[in-house]
Structure 1
């Protein structure tokens, strides 16, 4: 996967828009970060992943999930896009999207009106 692949499916969800964060491409929902591309050009910075969940992910699939010392104290996991498939990435993005999107946007999506 690439960030462009992630963009294509995430932009079909209500209230998702292109943006930038720390000088890299990002996806935002109501001006809050859904995810962003890390400076390495291959990793997705995925916020709001609890530290205990992150530990399980990194232990279970270290070729896909990791974090750096910089992110150790934050509920963030990094996902290597070149090693991941949509089936792995999309659930994390959708969970974060649901936390950021308005109730109306979630209801619209759930009803199938996501055009």
Structure 2
């Protein structure tokens, strides 16, 4: 996956747009933080179900999944864009998107993919 592929994937979700978060370029869904590309390490910020889930991902695929101290206490994993499985990423982003957008939006939209 390339950054351009990721950009297209994220913006395919309805009600999603580019924005900024803490002065960094990001993507927002329904005006709320959705994800961002970390130019520092070519990774994407991905919310997951739990800290345990995040830790399992990092243990299973350390070449793809990692965190920084900033994200340590949050159910967030950083996924290297070049090696992340696009199917996993789409499904995980979709789960986050469903939590952010109003129910009227999610009910009216067919999931992408």
TM-score, reference length from structure 2: 0.86
1:16-95 to structure 2, matched below 5 A, reads 16-40=16-40, 42-95=42-95
Q: Structure 1, residues 21-69: CA drift from partner, whole Å, max 9, x if none?
A: 2333211012111101114151111235410110111111111111122
Q: Separation in 2 of the partners of 1:49 and 1:67?
A: 15
The residue matched to 2:109 in structure 1 has which SS? helix
Unaligned 5+ runs, structure 2: none
- Once superposed, what is the RMSD of the aligned Cα atoms? 1.9
Q: Separation in 1 of the partners of 2:89 and 2:101?
A: 18
Q: Structure 1, residues 91-112: CA drift from partner, whole Å, max 9, x if none?
A: 11101000001111111213x7
TM-score, reference length from structure 1: 0.85
1:76-115 to structure 2, matched below 5 A, reads 76-110=76-110
How many matched pairs? 112
Q: Separation in 2 of the partners of 1:13 and 1:67?
A: 25
Unaligned 5+ runs, structure 1: none
